[in-house]
Amino acid sequence: MVTLSVRREIQPSKDAITMQISDMTAKIAQGNGFIAALDQSGGSTPKALRGYGVEDNEWSGDDEMFAKIHEMRSRIITSPCFSNGKVIGAILFEKTMDGQVEGKPTPQALIDRGIVPFIKIDKGLEDEANGVQMMKPMPELDTLLARAKGLGVFGTKERSVINEANPEGIAAIVAQQFEIGRQVLAAGLMPMLEPEYSIKAEGRAEGEKILKAEILKNLDSIAEGQQVMLKLSIPVEANLYADLIAHPKVLAVVALSGGYSTDEACAELARNKGMIASFSRGLLQDLRAQQDDADFDGTLGAAIDQIHAASVA
């Protein structure tokens, strides 16, 4: 377990501790903010650390690497601007969930600040076939879900990738997402399904229409009274996903930044009514380990303000 002492004591928000499942559900449904993606996994962590100004020679082995990235995430979570009400949720990597911030489990540290905790559950991607990359098997998923629920986590996030407008591949990737989603629902958690459509893919406008149709079809497999969340690339056609946003079995539709810069992602997101951000790169791109607290907080606060504005536009 990673335990770090960070520079600021967590001050509980007015939503602290009392946030129950119904409160978290309402907060996400209202969508008066955005979800921070703090879930870089093992394969992407070195790149994320380099972007933060931590070079490869500053750590050795996985334990030190994950300690460095946890320190970054702890600094973000304990920044005063992170609990100003504009960040309504945060997605954690498994090791971050199992770690602590100021002596508290990370999910509780978020709840104390009025922020709904999610956990990334996928184990990476299979090799591409039929224009898509499916999720790798998750044989220990039920155990992870039980542990997450015990720590107060509200929901999960699971990512796969679409690289071309292949109807067979898109149908398969959506079916897999919903299969995992039903498993998450059975464990008492809220699934955030993420069939990411690569923004570099040719024919993306056509493929996104196929994706939307497959999602609508698979929503029929969700029991009455249950809901899922969707995390999707910002569509080429503005408001393409309006039907999904309004669907009674969809709690919220959130957008990934997908390689866009903060400015690009926010401009694209603002064209899509009812879709809120769930950005990683768009939130973290200008943060550096070398910044003092004032500079760090100012930089993070500016990104939060910009992403929030685009989410509620």
Q: What are the residues facing 120 on neighbouring strands?
A: 157
Residues 238-270 pLDDT 10s: 999 999 999 999 999 999 998 898 899 999 999
pLDDT of residue 10: 39
Angle between helices 167-186 and 204-218 (to 10 degrees): 40
CA distance 273 to 266: 12
Residue spans of the domains in the chain: they are: 3-312
Catalytic site residue from 71, 95, 231, 268: 231
Produce one character per residue of 143-178: b if its CB has 16 or more CB atoms within 10 Å, e if not: ebbeebeebbbbbbbbbbbbbbbbeebbbbbbebbb
For range 44-55, the mean pLDDT: 90
pLDDT of residue 136: 97
Produce one character per residue of 49-58: b if its CB has 16 or more CB atoms within 10 Å, e if not: bebbebeeee
Residues 262-310 pLDDT 10s: 899 999 999 999 999 999 888 999 999 999 999 999 999 999 999 999 9
Q: Which residue has the tokens 């750590």?
A: 59
Residue 66 token pair: 């994950």
Q: Distances from the Cα of 295 to the Cαs of 75, 83, 161, 304, in angstroms?
A: 12, 17, 35, 14
Please confirm, yes or no, whether 149 is among the known catalytic residues: no
Catalytic site residue from 164, 194, 196, 208: 194
pLDDT of residue 39: 87
pLDDT of residue 42: 60
Of the listed ranges 6-10, 129-133, 199-203, 248-252, the one predicted with least confidence: 6-10
Q: Highest mean pLDDT: which of 10-19, 65-74, 180-189?
A: 180-189
Instruction: Report the CATH number of the 3-312 domain.
Output: 3.20.20.70
Name the band, by pLDDT with cuts 50, 70 and 90, for residue 102: confident
For range 175-196, the mean pLDDT: 98
CB of 225 closer than 8 Å to CB of 251? no
Q: Distances from the Cα of 309 to the Cαs of 124, 237, 284, 298, in angstroms?
A: 32, 20, 17, 16
pLDDT of residue 1: 42
pTM, rounded to two decimals: 0.91
Is 197's pLDDT higher than 60? yes
Please confirm, yes or no, whether 231 is among the known catalytic residues: yes
